[in-house]
Amino acid sequence: MKEIQVKVSNRNGMHLRLAGELVKNTSRFSSDIRIIRNGEEINAKSILSVAGLGAGYGQELKIRAEGEDEEEALKLLKKLFDTGFSEG
Amino acid sequence: MVRKKREYTVEDFFKDNKEELGLELLTSSLKGPLNITGSDVHRPAFALSGFMENYLNSRIQIIAETETLFMRSLEPGQMKEAAERIFSKPLCCIMITKNLDLPDVFIDEAERKSVPVLRTPKETTPFIHELTEILDYYFAPRTKLHGSLVDVYGVGLLFTGRSGIGKSEIVLDLVERGHRLVADDVVEILRRGDVVIGRGQEFLKHFMELRGIGIINVMDTYGIRAIRIQKRIEVVVELKDWDPGRDWDRHGLDERYTEILGSRIRQLIIPIFPGKNITVISETIALDHMLKVYGINAAKSLDDKISDWMKSKKRTRRYLRNDTE
């Protein structure tokens, strides 16, 4: 089990399109992936859960992955959050 | 694949529409120098009077009150010249409206050039509308597609996908639930304006092949309410084998389109795997499409709600931060 800390770097926050991008990527991995905010934990492969976070710009989130490909998964997710999902 | 431009022989046209348009043949033969090649008509009043520019001789020539009155106003010599002008170019046919009588010299000239002259009792403008309607249908762009067309809650869903993926089973399941089959396997398609209409092939209509059973007739098996002759295609549902590596649409904010006969049709790509209930999904596709037609888009309204919520949160935070009480 591994965890990383990320920050929403998109000006418009985690809107639906972005949530879609995120679950598209998390769904590629077999690991169980969770997003944790203020102790609340949601499934990172469910678009409604991710969108339901209503995570605005600058929001800090914890991502936890557990499974065979947890390392690759977190590496990719870190990159996505750092680059603002290449949305700018 | 669009077939090459159709031509309508005057003979076939007459046979097909004689009753509907009340047509009678005034000359001896239906075999003329040209076939009908389009639905546009031409009124040859200017050519009769001597102005030959832009005389659109390949179109059906409509002779009505104005043309007849003009001819009747001429001296016999001029009348013959006028008739010769009209037939100086090859014509497919001439249609006279309102049961009007043409001078004999005109009919003789038509006979000499073997141009069929037809006559209808109908008024000119309604006749032209009716004629255009018939010819538009005949000349509409057509093609054939491999797929199954079903009317689901009044929305035409065209199922496509590799053979053996289960299109026929889905169709049968939908029919069982009260929806209506238009065509299975081969769908004949024609476009009128932006509207794309599908129907079954003439003698294959409402027959289906089911692997392991063979041929069944949906109308005999499920009754008349299980079928429909033709339906506008509104959504193309492409069935694809489930592939975890593929980017399946997760929110539907962006709509995908495909083209049929140059017309844009909404397309959805639906993953298929054992145990998946495509019937319920198909019904949902139809209902969601209707909502979209009415301007209700679930993905957009959810996205708006998320944005509003994030904004209101920001306002609250600012309020609390500035709250120095």
Tell me the pLDDT band of B319, cut-offs 50, 70 and 90: confident
What single letter denotes the amino acid at residue B168? S
Do B302 and A27 make contact, defined as CB atoms within 8 angstroms?
no
Q: Is the pLDDT of residue B318 over 90?
A: no
Given a cut of 70, whether residue B127 has pLDDT beyond it is: yes
Q: What is the DSSP string of B224-260?
A: GGGB-SEEE--EEEEEEE--TTS---SS--S-EEEEE
Question: How do the domains of chain B map onto residue ranges?
Answer: 10-139, 142-300
Please answer yes or no on whether B307 and A47 come within 8 Å at the CB atom.
Answer: no
Q: What is the 3-state secondary structure (H, E, C) of B140-177?
A: CCEEEEECEEEEECCEEEEEECCCCCCHHHHHHHHHHC
By Cβ distance, the residue of A47, A55, A56 closest to B250 is A47
Q: State yes or no: pLDDT of B225 exceeds 70.
A: yes
Closest A-chain CA to B308: A54
- Whether B166 has a pLDDT exceeding 90, the answer reads no
Task: Compute the distance between CA of residue B136 and CA of residue B38 in angstroms, rounded to an integer.
Answer: 8
Which range has the worst mean pLDDT, A49-58, B13-22, B226-235? A49-58
List CB contacts (< 8 A) between B312 and chain A.
Answer: none
Question: What is the chain B residue with the closest CA to A51?
Answer: B306
Say how many domains are in chain A: 1
What pLDDT, on the 0 to 100 scale, is given for residue B134?
95
Check B245 against A28: CB less than 8 A apart.
yes
Task: Output Rg (C-alpha) for chain B, integer angstroms.
Answer: 29
Using an 8 Å CB-CB cutoff, list chain A residues near B269. none
- Inform me whether the pLDDT recorded for B1 exceeds 70: no
Contact present, B286 and B152 (Cβ < 8 Å): yes
Count of A-B CB contacts under 8 Å: 41
CATH hierarchy code of domain B10-139:
3.40.1390.20
pLDDT in tens, B209-221: 888 888 899 999 9
Phi, psi of B180 (to 5 degrees): -120, 130
B245 and A27 within 8 Å at the Cβ level: the answer is no
Q: Express as a percent the part of chain B with pLDDT over 90.
A: 74
Residues of chain B contacting A14 with CB distance shorter than 8 Å: 306
Task: Please count the CA atoms within 13 angstroms of the CA of A56 that sit on its side-chain side.
Answer: 11
pLDDT at B3 over 60: no
Whose tokens are 């904004």? That residue is B311
CA B278 to chain centroid, in Å, comes to 28
Handedness of CA A24, A27, A33, A34 (dihedral sign): positive
Q: What is the mean pLDDT of chain B?
A: 91
Residue with the larger pLDDT of the pair B153 and A88? B153
- What is the average pLDDT across B48-65? 94
Per-residue pLDDT, A88? 46
Neighbours of B222 (CB within 10 A): 18
Which residue does chain B place closest to A47, by CA atoms?
Answer: B250
Q: Which pLDDT band, with edges at 50, 70 and 90, does B2 fall under?
A: very low
Determine the pLDDT at residue A40: 87
* pTM (2 d.p.): 0.78
CATH number of the domain that A73 lies in?
3.30.1340.10
Chain B CB contacts of A11 under 8 Å are none
CA dist B247 and B90 (Å) reads 59
Q: CATH class for domain B142-300?
A: alpha beta
The domain containing residue A49 runs over which residues?
Answer: 2-86
Q: What is the pLDDT of residues B67-77, one digit of tens each?
A: 999 999 999 89
B interface with A, Cβ–Cβ < 8 A, is: 244-245, 247, 250-251, 253, 299, 302-303, 306-307, 309-310, 313-314
Mutate to test the interface with A, among B251, B253, B256 (most CBs of A within 10 A): B251
Ranges of residues in chain A with a pLDDT under 50 are 88
Closest residue in B to A27 (Cα) is: B244
Q: Provide the pLDDT for residue B44.
A: 94
Task: Supply A53's token pair.
Answer: 């976070």
Instruction: Give the Cα separation of B310 and A56 in Å (integer).
Output: 6
Burial of B130 (0-12, 13-18, 19+ CB in 10 A): middle
Average pLDDT of the segment spanning B1-24: 87
CB B149 within 8 A of CB B198: yes
Close Cβ partners of B120 (under 8 Å, ≥ 6 residues apart) = B21, B22, B23, B24, B95, B96, B97, B98, B99, B127
